[in-house]
Amino acid sequence: MAAIHKTIVRIAARVLRILKTIMVLRAWTKEVAVAKVIEFYVPNNFRKALKWVPEVQRGKILEFCPQTKKSA
């Protein structure tokens, strides 16, 4: 009789461990799946459209003239 009781206790403990693991996994997936979408109003004139540069001109070094300093 005592052996059967011990076996039942072991099985119950194992089942409880499995159920706790499942509950933790469910809680974790709920946290991971939650997301908030924040929408912002962006006016049309916020950023000017960029012009694409031909492939020939990409990486080309541009030379700028140094600015002349004005004395105060």
Segment 7-25 mean pLDDT: 84
Per-residue pLDDT band at 71 (split at 50, 70, 90): low
For residue range 18-59, list pLDDT tens digits in order.
Answer: 888 888 777 666 556 567 788 888 787 777 777 787 888 777
Q: What share of the chain is helix, strand, coil (3-state, %, to 5)?
A: 45, 0, 55
CA distance 53 to 60: 11
| Sole residue written with tokens 């939650």 | 34
pLDDT of residue 27: 67
pLDDT of residue 31: 59
